[in-house]
Structure 1
Amino acid sequence: MNKSSVQKLLDTLNIPEKESDDLLSISKTVELGGEETYISEGQVPRKFAIVLNGLFRYYYIDEKGNQFTKGFILPGNVLSSYSAMRNRTPSFFYIQALENSEILEVTYRKWLQLQNNSPYWDKFLIFALERGYYIKEKRERELLLLDAEARYRTFLSEFPDLEKRVTQQMIASYLGIKPESLSRIRKKMSG
C-alpha cells in the first residue's frame, strides 16, 4: 500500500494532518500472510496496529485445543492485545491474519512518546477504547440474551461479506455454537 492510500485511511479515521504525519513518522507498514499470527497467547505484546487492508481475528484456545473466536477485525480498526501491552503481561489470546493483510504498526514505546507530545492522542485512545467497549458490551448482551439463530442473523447483518471469507468453524465459534448447529440454522433459514 502506498503512502497516499495509508493517508486516505487515516483521513477516514479523522486524524488531523499534523498528527497523521507524526503517526506515520513512528510507524511502519507490515504485510502478513493468511493464517499468520500477529500476537500469540503468552506473548507480552510491545506493539499494536491499525488494519489497512485484509482481515484478522482474535481467538482463544482452551486446554483441549478448541478455538473460540473472540472477534473479527476489519480495515480501519485497531489491532491490539491492549491490556497485556499496557500492563506488560502475557496476552490471553491470539491475533491472526485470516487473509493476506497489511497493517500500520506502532511500537508501544513510540506510541507513549507520541501520546506525551500531543493531547490529540489521548482523545484518539479514548475513542478507540470506547469503541472497543461498545463492541464488547454488545457482544456480551447478544451471547447472553439472543438465541443462536438471532446471533447468526446479527452476524450476517454486521459482517455481510464475511461468511464467504472465513470458515464455518470460525463463525460457529464466534456465535458460541457448534458447526453442526450452524449448519442446521443455515438450512432452516434457506428453506
Structure 2
Amino acid sequence: MRAALQKILPDDKIDILLSISKVLSIQANEYFVHEGEVPKKIAFIHTGLFRYVYIHEKGYEYTKSLITKHQFICSYSAMIAQTPSHFYIEALEDAELLVVPYQKWIDLVKNDLFWTQLLLGFVEKGFITKEKRERDLLLLSAEKRYLNFLKEFPDIDQRIPQTIIASYLGIQPESLSRIRKKLFS
C-alpha cells in the first residue's frame, strides 16, 4: 500500500493518512457505496477496479465512470451535502481499499494546506474527466467512443463484461458487438 501511496504523497503525509484509515478488502460485485445511502467515507484504491453506476427502477444500468487502481473513490457531492447518493460504487474485481472516514478527511483538509491542494487536484481532474466524458457522449459516434475507451483503459476490455462497457459507452450490447466485429474482423 505504501508504495502505491508514494506515487502521490510524501512519506510524512502517508503516515498521517495511514493513521486515520483502515484497509478494507471488497469482493467483485459488492458495493462500496449504495444508492440512497448518505456516504461517510472516501477510499484510495490499492488494487481492483470500480464503477459508478446508476440502476434504474426497471433494472437498467448506466455506468457513469470507471475508476482504476491508485485513484480515490467516493460519492463526493452526496458526502459534502450529507444527502443520499444517487449512484452505487461497485467493485468490478476483488479489491483492496484504504478507507478514510469523511470527518477525519475534513479535519485533514481544514488543518493542512497540503491536503486542501491534494483535494483540489483531484476535484480538478474529476471535472476534466467529467467534461470530456460529456463531450464524447454528445459529439462522438459510438465507434469513436469505443476506440477512445480502448486508449483510455487499455487493459480493461478483457477484464469486465461487454455489457458494462456498452453501458459506459451509452450504447446497447448488440451495438458494441457490431462495432467490435467491424473493427476486429
Runs of 4+ in 1 over 2 A off after TM superposition: none
Shift of 1:12: 0.7
How much does 1:186 deviate?
A: 0.5
The counterpart of 1:10, out of the listed 5, 10, 13, is 5
Q: How does 1:113-124 map to 2 (within 5 A)?
A: 113-124=107-118
Work out the number of aligned pairs and report it: 185
1:117 Cα deviation after fit = 2.2
Instruction: For 2:110 and 2:159, locate their aligned partners in 1 and report how far apart those are by CA, in whole Å.
Output: 39
AA partner of residue 17 (structure 1): D
The amino acid of 1:100's aligned partner reads: D
Q: Which residue in 2 is equivalent to 1:141?
A: 135
The answer for the alignment partner of 1:3 in structure 2 is none
The amino acid of 1:92's aligned partner reads H
Tell me which of 10, 14, 19 is aligned to 2:13.
Answer: 19
What's the Cα RMSD here? Answer: 0.8
Amino acid at match of 2:6: D
Partner of 2:123, secondary structure, is helix
CA–CA distance in 2 between the matches of 1:142 and 1:175? 9
SS class of match (2:98): strand
**CA shift for structure 1 position 116:** 2.2
Equivalent residue, structure 2, for 1:169: 163
Q: CA deviation at 1:19?
A: 1.5
| 1:98-137 equivalent positions in 2, closer than 5 A | 98-137=92-131
TM norm structure 2? 0.98
Alignment counterpart, residue 27 of structure 2, candidates 28, 33, 36:
33
Q: Which amino acid aligns with 1:147?
A: S
Sequence identity, in percent? 51
Residue deviations 1:107-139 (CA, integer Å, cap 9, x gap):
001111122221100000000100100110110
Gaps of 5+ in 2: none
The alignment partner of 2:157 has SS state of helix
Residue 66 in structure 1 maps to residue 60 in structure 2: yes
1:47 matched residue in structure 2? 41
Structure 1: gaps (5+ residues): 1-5
What displacement does 1:10 show?
A: 1.1
CA–CA distance in structure 1, aligned partners of residues 106 and 139 of structure 2: 39
2:90 pairs with one of 84, 92, 96: 96
Quick one: distance in 2 between partners of 1:134 and 1:115?
Answer: 22
Q: Distance in 2 between matches of 1:79 and 1:20?
A: 18
Q: In structure 1, what is the equivalent of residue 184 of structure 2?
A: 190
